[in-house]
């Protein structure tokens, strides 16, 4: 009976740890290059920084129409250095470094992608 109780408690602890990691953990990380063209602080209850990166154009065939690929991202409101980097490089070609979270929460941002570093892209 005692060993069954210990196994149940250990199972519960494992489930809780997996849940915490899923909520707060990083799913993936990477970088994207493009032109920063939108960045704003928004929100009614929770103020967050949200931005868009233009990843480029894709030809859709023989027609002159082009498709614009966008990458939507969030920035931690307390990360003043990254907010300043983005503001400095608006309209420029940059490489952004991000971490993807499992879950998006309203107090963290609108997206699951959180930018933590921005560098100008050299061509």
The SS3 of residue 68 is strand
Judge whether 20 lies within some domain: no
pLDDT, tens digit (0-9, with 9 covering 90-100), for 72-94: 999 988 889 999 999 999 989 99
Determine contact, residues 82/8, Cβ cutoff 8 Å: no
Judge whether 95 lies within some domain: yes
Is the pTM here over 0.75, yes or no? no
Dist CA 118 CA 88 (whole Å)? 10
* CA 93 to chain centroid: 18
Judge whether 115 lies within some domain: yes
Judge whether 46 lies within some domain: yes
Judge whether 5 lies within some domain: no
* CA 12 to chain centroid: 30
Dist CA 53 CA 55 (whole Å)? 6
Judge whether 22 lies within some domain: no
Domain that holds residue 73: 27-120
Number of structural domains found in the chain: 1
* CATH number of 84's domain: 2.40.50.140
């Amino acid at each position: 009976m005692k060993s069954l109780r210990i196994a149940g408690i250990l199972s519960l602890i494992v489930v809780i740890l997996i849940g915490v990691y899923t909520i707060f953990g990083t799913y993936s990380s990477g970088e994207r290059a493009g032109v920063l063209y939108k960045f704003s602080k928004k929100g009614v209850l929770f103020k967050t920084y949200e931005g868009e990166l233009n990843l480029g154009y894709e030809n859709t065939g023989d027609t002159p129409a082009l498709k614009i690929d966008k990458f939507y991202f969030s920035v931690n409101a307390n990360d003043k250095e990254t907010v300043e980097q983005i503001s400095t490089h608006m309209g420029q070609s940059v490489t952004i470094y991000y971490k993807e979270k499992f879950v998006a929460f309203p107090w963290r941002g609108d997206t699951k992608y959180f930018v933590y570093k921005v560098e100008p892209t050299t061509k």
